[in-house]
Structure 1
Amino acid sequence: MELFCADLDLVSNIARTISILSTHEDCCDSIVYHENSFRSIVKIFNKYPGRQDIIVRFGYALGNIIAKSDNARIKLYKEPGAMTAILNLIQSYLDKDLEQMKSPTDDLGMTSPEWASDGSVEDVIIKMIRIVANMSMNPEVGYAMTCVSFGEDDDGLYANSLQQARDGGRFFDLLLMVLRRKSITESVELVMSTLSSLNNLSYYALPEMASEGPFASRQIEITQVLSTMLLTKNEESMIESTRVLGNLTRSKEVRDYILEIGGISHLVDCLDHENKELVFTTTGVLVNLMADWDKRLALKESNGVQKLIVVIKRCDGDWKLASLICQALWNFCIDSTHLYAALGIQPTNCLLTVLVDLLDEEKLFGIKEDAEIPDLIAESSEYRL
């Protein structure tokens, strides 16, 4: 491919072949270990940016390769011009998408040419975002994209901190553009891919990391966009949004912003959902928010304490969720000297009743009151807990 990249028919056939081969792990390993494989693909990205069929197939292949190999993630990130080429494609196809949105009645404008029938504008954006999302699963790459600030002095992967900060910032700006422009009802896969990318990258944005890094400088903008996602009826997007908020709320600046916009009441509303995964991720956000006294007050005023108790009451053996709710309530009460004053008399009594019932040994292990505990149960890790 590196020798015949000017032959469009050959490149098109290679793209089709590699996209199929990338579904096999051994083939992916061979592509990664080939010295110039990524360089050739980046060259194709730059040479044929308008060929949606070629771009989407190579994008699909790269996403598969990077999903399977950590070495591939680092290799692609270090490949000169790779990030710039990927970001240019996202930007270019977002511009095309905007043109299509401006002329929705123009059927010709919405139809891809015959040779591009295998890749729509949105397909290309999804594939490119997926590449970066998978690449950021490597901690070094994730940190470089999220936390490396302008002028940070380092060696190795972070040697070119200026370009890395620009690339990271540009990628976050593009993700924000997607979430502000696209609807979850019309572009489910694109929005979910974008949220998944934010989830991967926000994991590395610890409060003690560079406050001027690409992510930290945009964390309020990201929180603002995610807050609107909680108002949708799409549970998948709400779950992914609360996952990102779980990472974001490690920052006090973000916690203060959520309080300011009334976000705690929206989070409390999420506790009413039947979807246990949404309830779990929402509770994780509340655990972080309870680090500050003013957020505890807002939770109480939003009837959040009572709702948490209702949720733990119907956990139905889901100990992971029950433990997280207990952590949220513990954080809520941590500075209180009197439980009744903190929670209220009725909620406190209700919580104690629920906890006693959950820890009932007869229900858990079949041990009746005053009965001798069998050795098998006594020595089990579950009972020792």
Structure 2
Amino acid sequence: AESLTWKNVIAPVLQRLENGSEDSVDRLCDLCADLHHTLADADMLGRRCNERSKILRTLFRLVDHNSSQLNLHIAELCLAMSVSGNNQLNICKLIFQSSRSEANDIFFQKNSLIELLLGVLNTEEVCVSGEALLYCVGTLKFLSGNPKILKLLLDKNCIGVAQRLIQKLCAVEDASIKMAAHILVQLTATLRNLADHPESRRLFVSFSIPPALCQVLHHYCEDEDICTNISRVFSKVSSYCECCLALARIPHCYQLFLDLLSKHHQKQDLVVRFLFTLGNLTAKGDEPRLQLFQCTGCMDTLLQLYSSYQRKDEPQQEGRPSSRKPPAPPINAQETDDVLVKLVRVLANMCIHPAVGPCLASNTICIQLLMETLELRSVHESEELLVNVAAAINNLSFYQENSQIRHNRLAIAKLMMKLLLSSSMDAMLEATRVYGNLSLHQDVRDFIIQNRVHTFAVTLLDSKRAEMCFSACGVLTNLALDPPKRVSLTLEGIISVIDFWLICSSFWETGCC
């Protein structure tokens, strides 16, 4: 049967391909497709065809036509015939070159190439076919930038294949470790793209991708590209509850992230994403907050990062020349703010834990850095950062024993003025919350009256945001508890406003309105 198929069908097609220099590319593509279908129907794909070498020689000659469409037809058929060694490498390289152009994406959606590439990744070993694997994964990285192909990759079990490949790459011998690292750069970039698709998240969990990537981080902690790609993956998937919980269950992940933050502290794009991931983890509950805090060197690492990204080298004020040499060109101001926004969020989340909060509140360096940020930044340029700093100070102000917040309460009250006087409602809210806690102290109440902060609090009672009204009322209520100030507030008509607002709020809480 094979000889008849060869004589009557395959040989004539090969003849036309060999003599096809004058044919159009479309015609040659059709002939390749016909040949592929014929071999498949006759069960002659793989290594099952006696004349396999002749078919491959004919196909390789067609590469000279320099057509991506034709080359992908050739590559599909060659992989389907289980080429190996240098032939496999050359085919994988050919596919990779075509995948670099988005114009060729359409061709990958109309054939079995993706499935065949995943098959290569499943079956080949790094020590034998490392370079071919590199080109395969590089192709998937380029293709995964296309949303339509992204869905196709998920349907073809790309995440499952990636998980098995990661296990192989983490177990290579020393002789193959450099090649394994190159492959992992491309593979983690592919997973970074896959993480964008909503359907990928449950697959990341079911195929245990988070622990697999933590294993990669452990083995390849010195490789900035690999670590950065994985930080991008975690920052994306940790925003979703199921993935965040899976990540939180990984033993020692907090220590691992802290070690990487310390090791690669100057790589801003890595730092900001691992901090964002830690912020997501510590937002979920008390256990992650305590686990992170109990890690070796946790506060040292976070505060060293804070100090290095604080951006203290602001332009000198006129009339105050500096004797120092000009500082090295700083990281972009927005990039430093991005780091601090995420870092302060981690601190604010951690201190919610009753065992962690007192330690942070009594940490002189931590409180000094937060206050320093309030001094150095403006609400106009760094609104989100200052709002986060105020939120952290508010959380920390609940802890009184040995509290640096309490010790610096007047200085903090003064710094909060810039937030209260800004046009940002979020900044006003956080500042008002801080005043609500600090106004338990006599000297802060004096400051509030002297600087007319209470008049701002009164205007905030008209806010449509209930949380703003409650915070403002808290400040005014604390002032009213002080007899001399109660007289002053009565004369200004504020006491009646407070009483009226408290009556209304009690009705709201009991559902009587």
TM-score by length of 2: 0.54
Alpha-carbon distance between aligned partners in 1 of 2:338 and 2:369, rounded to the nearest angstrom: 14
Q: Which residue of 2 aligns with 1:9?
A: 182
Change (3 A) 1:337 1:317: same
Deviations along 1:10-66, whole A, 9 cap, x unmatched? Answer: 21221121101112343222222334x334323322443443332221111112222
Q: Does 1:326 align with 2:473?
A: yes
Alpha-carbon distance between aligned partners in 2 of 1:137 and 1:48, rounded to the nearest angstrom: 28
Q: Does 1:242 align with 2:414?
A: no
Structure 1 letter corresponding to 2:307: M
Q: Does 1:256 align with 2:384?
A: no
Change (3 A) 1:230 1:217: closer
How many residue pairs end up in the alignment? 315
How far residue 226 of structure 1 moved from its aligned partner, in angstroms, is 1.6
Structure 2 letter corresponding to 1:272: L
Q: How does 1:295-306 map to 2 (within 5 A)?
A: 295-306=444-455
How far residue 123 of structure 1 moved from its aligned partner, in angstroms, is 0.7
Alpha-carbon distance between aligned partners in 2 of 1:211 and 1:202, rounded to the nearest angstrom: 9
Larger radius of gyration: 2
Change (3 A) 1:29 1:178: farther
Alpha-carbon distance between aligned partners in 1 of 2:430 and 2:313, rounded to the nearest angstrom: 22
Contact 1:19 1:57 in 2 (8 A): yes
Which residue of 353, 364, 369 maps to 1:225? 369
3-state SS of the aligned residue for 2:437? helix
- Residue ranges of structure 1 left out of the alignment (5+ in a row): 98-120, 147-163, 362-378
Q: Which residue of 1 aligns with 2:210?
A: 38
Contact 1:259 1:298 in 2 (8 A): no
Q: Which residue of 1 aligns with 2:257?
A: 86
Structure 2 letter corresponding to 1:325: A
Contact 2:211 2:247 in 1 (8 A): no
Q: Which residue of 1 aligns with 2:416?
A: 267
Contact 1:129 1:194 in 2 (8 A): no
Q: Which residue of 1 aligns with 2:439?
A: 290
How far residue 89 of structure 1 moved from its aligned partner, in angstroms, is 2.0
Deviations along 1:353-384, whole A, 9 cap, x unmatched? Answer: 6987x89x9xxxxxxxxxxxxxxxxx999983
Alpha-carbon distance between aligned partners in 2 of 1:207 and 1:3, rounded to the nearest angstrom: 40
Q: Which residue of 1 aligns with 2:512?
A: 384
Structure 1 letter corresponding to 2:404: V
How far residue 316 of structure 1 moved from its aligned partner, in angstroms, is 5.2
Deviations along 1:208-258, whole A, 9 cap, x unmatched? Answer: 535775x3553x322221212223212222212111111111122233222
User: Higher mean Cα deviation, 10-19 or 176-185?
Assistant: 176-185
Alpha-carbon distance between aligned partners in 1 of 2:383 and 2:254, rounded to the nearest angstrom: 32
Q: Does 1:144 align with 2:294?
A: no
Change (3 A) 1:2 1:187: farther
How far residue 91 of structure 1 moved from its aligned partner, in angstroms, is 1.5
Q: How does 1:299-378 map to 2 (within 5 A)?
A: 299-312=448-461, 315=462, 317-336=464-483, 339-341=486-488, 343=489, 345-346=491-492, 349=493, 352=496
Change (3 A) 1:206 1:336: farther
3-state SS of the aligned residue for 1:263? helix
How far residue 70 of structure 1 moved from its aligned partner, in angstroms, is 4.8
How far residue 287 of structure 1 moved from its aligned partner, in angstroms, is 0.8
User: Higher mean Cα deviation, 182-191 or 20-29?
Assistant: 182-191
Structure 1 letter corresponding to 2:223: R
Alpha-carbon distance between aligned partners in 1 of 2:244 and 2:424, rounded to the nearest angstrom: 36
Change (3 A) 1:173 1:383: closer
Q: Which residue of 1 aligns with 2:310?
A: 180
Deviations along 1:172-204, whole A, 9 cap, x unmatched? Answer: 334433443578993424433433443344345
Alpha-carbon distance between aligned partners in 2 of 1:338 and 1:350, rounded to the nearest angstrom: 11
Contact 1:239 1:277 in 2 (8 A): yes
Contact 1:290 1:332 in 2 (8 A): yes
How far residue 130 of structure 1 moved from its aligned partner, in angstroms, is 1.7
How far residue 283 of structure 1 moved from its aligned partner, in angstroms, is 0.3
Q: After TM superposition, which residue ranges in structure 1, 4 or more long, deviate above 6 angstroms?
A: 182-185, 353-356, 379-383
Change (3 A) 1:196 1:257: farther
Structure 1 letter corresponding to 2:370: L
Structure 1 letter corresponding to 2:458: I
Identity of aligned residues (%): 13
Alpha-carbon distance between aligned partners in 2 of 1:28 and 1:383, rounded to the nearest angstrom: 41
Change (3 A) 1:221 1:344: farther
Which residue of 333, 351, 355 maps to 1:205? 351
Structure 1 letter corresponding to 2:275: I
Contact 2:344 2:388 in 1 (8 A): no
Contact 1:195 1:237 in 2 (8 A): yes
Change (3 A) 1:85 1:381: closer
Contact 2:192 2:232 in 1 (8 A): yes
Contact 1:305 1:329 in 2 (8 A): yes
How far residue 280 of structure 1 moved from its aligned partner, in angstroms, is 0.7
TM-score by length of 1: 0.69
Alpha-carbon distance between aligned partners in 1 of 2:509 and 2:367, rounded to the nearest angstrom: 40
